Structure 1
Amino acid sequence: MAQIRPFCAVRPDSVLASRIAALPYDVYDRSQALAEVTREPLSFLHIDRPETWFDNSVDMYAPQVYEKAGQALKEWISDGYFIRDSRPCYYIYEQVMDGRAQTGIVACASVNDYVNNVIKKHENTREAKEQDRIRHISACQAQTGPIFLAYRHDPSINEIMAKAMAKSPVYDFITPDNVSQRVWIIDDAGDIQNISQAFANIPDIYIADGHHRAASAVKVSLMRRKAMGLLPDQCCGDESDYFLSVLFPDDQLKIMAYNRVVKDLNGLEADEFLRRVEQKFSILSLPGRPTGDFPETKGTFGMYLDEKWHLLSPKFEISGDNAVDGLDVSVLQDSLLGPVLGIHDPRLDERIDFIGGIHGLEGLEAYCRQKKWAVAFAMYPTSIEELFDVADQHLLMPPKSTWFEPKLRSGLFIHEI
């Protein structure tokens, strides 16, 4: 059972929240992050991407960069940009994008639940990316980016949330990408106890997005335990035993496709490539760019080649011994990307790139056109049920299997450790 608890958030002054809230640090490259803090000097990217305080001659992973993050956060708190709640609360965080709302509980999740797999994962993490956030958390003595968790919806939690949302929100604004952001505080002792108990009765919590942030927060806690002479499962007894999260019910979540682009045809001419593909897939050539959702059904794939769109349908039965084998991303990898295009390890191969479904088919076309890459594949989205099944079987998805929208904003909630 999951141990979910309230916390004393450090959060923006209500007048500044819309200026401070920022997209996650890892959706920007260095130049994009700099452009954003130039546009909005109070953007939380100044904390999450502290290299934006320095010119390009300074290594973004240099010690003084992380030190600047901690220093700037302290100054912004001292200057009144942020307030610190005096008692532990839960928070409701609602985002509305294109008319669809997702509403979650902002809370702290247990490091031990992560270690013991009560909080389930579906993705591997990379050491270099972990080390970046480990240094950032250590320098700030705070977790600044929430982990996106999912759970099977629970009517009792919905009732408490609806009661709180009948009041006026503490934040209510629309971000430049036209996503509504609203926040309410749950500070009633009875409601807090009921939420904690409801989560204690939920057997499984899942990481939907933010595996690297979660792993980094956990490792900081384990490092602190080791320094105190504790065993890995012995709590420090402080806030580092928990990590900042937003928990969303599964029935409100939408996963978008994570599409693929490949640089070349592995030495094949286009005609030969199509003949190789046709050994396993039926190919339907389309008169132009498809409209609406494409592909429309699970187990089919869009392919953009020589400025033309095609629909691929497998000639074989899709089956497997586990939840991973039946994923569309696995089918494409095992039946086409690997054997035909020679992409055997998509995590490391520089001939493949991944484009979030938010960019649409036109984004794939633009990528191929601008970079002169050979072929793109439009995927049918992985479902939240598939994500749960993979995690329940203690398996891992192929890289870049899920793209969640809208993205959680950083800077609205900070968890000091």
Structure 2
Amino acid sequence: MAKKIFFNVYAPFNGLVANHDFAGKIISPPYDVLSREEAKILAKDNPYSFLRISRAEIDFPDSVSASEKIVYERAAENFKKLINNRSIIEDEKAAFYIWKLQKDDHFQTGVISACSVLAYESGEVIRHEHTRPEKEDDRVKHLESLSAATGPTLLTYRRDPILSDLVTKLSLGIPIIDVHDIYKVRHTIWRICSENYVDELGLALNQIKKSYIADGHHRTAASYRLARDKKMTDGRFLAALFPSDQLLVLDYNRVVRDLNGLSSREFLSKLSTSFNVSVLETPAKPLLRGNFTLYMDGYWYSLSYRDKSRIKGEHPDNLDVSLLNYKVLEPLLGIENLRTNPRVEFIGGARGLEGLKSFVDENHWAAAFALYPTSVDELMNIADTGEIMPPKSTWFEPKLADGLISLPLDFTN
């Protein structure tokens, strides 16, 4: 009885873990950061690539939609192959897993657990974004086809010194996985399955009063929906908990297809009513809230919002992502629904200003906007109020990888 209460939110589980001999071939970027073509190129000549499971449409001609039934069936077939040939092995004992990510001089270390969907429903796990129904549907079908959650939800929490010290102590041994991904991020994973350490870590984790979804709203919502629809008594999703002071947040930028009938000169003129506009001889990311970098027609511009009073505080309307929406995208460009409008795309800050320029130039789009990043503290404080942030407000780096640890799902309980 004690353990049932003990692990009420964050529980150990029998992970489906990449065999260390194959982990370097299996490890793949998250399913939602690559285009279909990019995924196809990365998985070429690699039958172990987890992209053949997370993005199984790459096994088919482009005429086959990613949402067709045969795609989910292929994903399940490819997943089963990796399990059957023991490239992925289910642990015999329930465990927590410690996952350390290192990119250059940045380190972050978190704990992988099976998190209760009831905590998501009750608000102990707090969301800050709305989800898109079609993306939720896709993840539900993927979860159901595989009987496993293969993409971890990134959760964050305000640092707890006891938990931090314990994680440090438990990650001093020999890891079960130590590999680099295509972005040169080092992923090191330890299995914690000793009963005493499982109990100690479980107790510390379940002292966390609130955690926040930093990345993975659709995966989490899909797990909740599936558990509800299947009437599961103990529905869980795959969660990766990292303290907020270790997370690195980058800008999440916007590119627009056209200027809504305006010429470049007319667009700049309209921008100047709300912003101080100046040409940048050398492109540079914005260094303060209320500032943006614009790329258009081969030139770079600095935009500085005139009304500084509107960029103070932590209400969602005061964030730079909102400011760009209600001062530029909506009134000037007629882009009103960022979640569904095909005239806008989002590019994570890891691609830099050069990534924005390349996208605009190669796709013949009109303009790109680089934003000042939203902070983790802003995310948590806004979530605490129950407010919802605009879509694509935060981009976290480095990214957790797919394929190294998955959570088996039992639909019979």
Q: Same fold (TM over 0.5)?
A: yes
| 1:231 match | none
Say if 1:125 and 1:211, in contact at 8 Å, map to a contact too: yes
User: Does the 8 A contact of 1:5 with 1:196 survive in 2?
Assistant: yes
Name 2:92's counterpart in structure 1.
Answer: 86
Q: RMSD in angstroms over aligned alpha carbons?
A: 1.8
Compared CA separation, residues 321 and 15, structure 1 to 2 (3 A): closer
Is it true that 1:281 corresponds to 2:257 in the alignment?
no
Aligned residue among 79, 82, 88 for 1:73? 79
Do residues 215 (structure 1) and 221 (structure 2) align? Answer: yes
Q: Which runs of 5+ in 1 are unaligned?
A: 226-234
In structure 2, relative to structure 1, the CA distance for the partners of 1:344 and 1:62 (3 Å cut) is closer
| CA-to-aligned-CA distance 1:34-61 (integer Å, 9 cap, x gap) | 2222142211111112223333344332
Q: Mean alpha-carbon deviation: is it higher for 261-270 or for 407-416?
A: 261-270
Which runs of structure 2 are paired with 1:180-195 in the superposition (5 Å)? 180-195=186-201
1:236 has 2:236 as partner: no
Q: CA deviation at 1:339?
A: 1.7
| Aligned position for 2:207 | 201
- Paired residue for 1:265? 259
2:14 match: 8
Matched position secondary structure for 1:25: coil
Question: Match of 2:368, SS?
Answer: strand
Structure 1 residues 246-303: Cα deviation after superposition (integer angstroms, max 9, x where no partner): 111001001111111122222222232222111111122221323xxx1011221111
Corresponding residue for residue 108 of structure 1: 114
CA distance in 1, matches of 2:297, 2:81: 54
Q: Does residue 301 of the first structure (1) align with residue 292 of the second (2)? A: yes
How far 1:176 sits from its partner (Å)?
A: 2.4
Deviations 1:322-341 (A, max 9, x none): 62011110111112222222
Paired residue type of 2:382? V
Q: Residue 71 and residue 352 in structure 1: after superposition, are their counterparts in 2 closer, same or farther (change >3 A)?
A: closer
Q: Name the CA distance, whole Å, in 1 between partners of 2:402 and 2:311.
A: 40
| 1:311 corresponds to which of 302, 324, 338 | 302
Q: Which moves more between the two structures, 34-43 or 374-383? A: 34-43
CA apart distance, 1:124: 0.9
The equivalent of 2:373 in structure 1 is: 381
Q: Which moved more, 1:58-67 or 1:327-336?
A: 58-67
Listed as ranges, the matches of 1:35-74 within 5 Å are 35-74=41-80
Alignment of 1:105-254 (within 5 A): 105-225=111-231, 236-237=233-234, 241-254=235-248
Q: Secondary structure at the match of 2:316?
A: coil
1:190: how far off? 2.6
Contact 1:37 1:43 in 2 (8 A): yes
**SS in structure 2 opposite 1:396?**
coil
SS of the counterpart of 2:61?
coil
What amino acid is the match of 2:96?
Y
The 1:2/1:395 distance shift into structure 2, 3 A limit, reads farther
Shift of 1:2: 7.1
Whether the 8 Å CA contact 1:2–1:203 is kept in 2: the answer is no
Q: Does 1:334 align with 2:340?
A: no
CA deviation map 1:81-110 (0-9, x unaligned):
122111111111111112201111011111
Aligned residues: 402
**Which residue in 1 is equivalent to 2:399?**
407
* Stretch of structure 1 that moved more, 357-366 or 312-321: 312-321
CA, structure 1 residues 65+344, in 2 after alignment: closer, same or farther (shift >3 Å)? closer
Letter paired with 1:67: E
User: What's the % identity of the aligned pairs?
Assistant: 38
1:2 touches 1:204 (CA, 8 Å); kept in 2? no
| Aligned match of 1:323 | 315
Q: Which amino acid aligns with 1:388?
A: M
Q: 388-397 or 345-354, which moves further after superposition?
A: 345-354
| Secondary structure of the structure 1 residue equivalent to 2:294 | strand
User: 15, 22, 25: which is aligned to 2:28?
Assistant: 22
Q: One-letter code of the match for 1:76?
A: L
Structure 2 spans left out of the alignment, 5+ residues: 1-6
Task: Quote how far apart the aligned CAs of 1:24 are.
Answer: 1.1
1:255 and 2:249 correspond:
yes
Please say which of residues 111-120 and 365-374 is displaced more in the overlay: 365-374
Q: Residues 279, 109 of structure 1: CA spacing in aligned structure 2 closer, same or farther, 3 A cutoff?
A: same
Report the residue type matching 2:169 in the other structure: K
Q: Which residue of 1 aligns with 2:3?
A: none
Amino acid at match of 2:56: P
The structure-2 alpha-carbon separation of the partners of 1:270 and 1:180, relative to structure 1 and needing over 3 Å to count, comes to same
